[in-house]
Amino acid sequence: MRIQEILLEKKHKKHRAKKHDVKHHDDAERDEVVPDAEEDKVPLITMQALKALDVQGNYPLTFKDGSKAKLGLQDIKLFLHHYMAAKPSDKELMQDIASQSPQSFYRAIARFSAPAAAPQKIKGTRYMSHFSGDHDDK
């Protein structure tokens, strides 16, 4: 079979399929609009915080409980700082907590602002990243 014949055959199959589909569809089915499930959700709290940061805190954040609140610029900066420094799993948890209500926004800041643990010393002035053994004099 030559390439032209294969292409013509595919073209005829598509044409027949289109005719077949048109006959079996009702007009009501084609006009039915499915609502977008993502449309009614609250936007991500981090995106809202970035918008608020752009306009110096003059943007109300919308929370899942339906409330809106303008938060302080320092609180927004602190939230975004901790969010950017967090691990991906912590980022998701931080967004879930912060998006519930204004009070939970502040709880998320407090929860994730705990200081990082200092590196542990093994002996003397050496840190765990160095090798240590029984023969160390320090």
- pLDDT tens track for 52-98: 999 998 999 999 999 999 999 999 999 999 999 999 989 999 999 99
Q: What is the pLDDT of residue 112?
A: 85
Q: Residue 16: which of 27, 8, 6, 4 has the closest Cα?
A: 8
pLDDT interval class at 35 (50, 70, 90): low
Q: Which residues contact 128 (CB under 8 A, 6 or more apart)?
A: 119, 120, 121, 122
Work out the average pLDDT over 22-41.
57
22: enclosing H helix or E strand:
helix 3-24
What pLDDT score does 133 carry?
57
Supply the pLDDT for residue 59. Answer: 93
The two three-digit tokens of residue 32, written as one number: 């039915």
DSSP tally for the chain: helices H, then strands E: 6, 2
Model pTM above 0.85: no
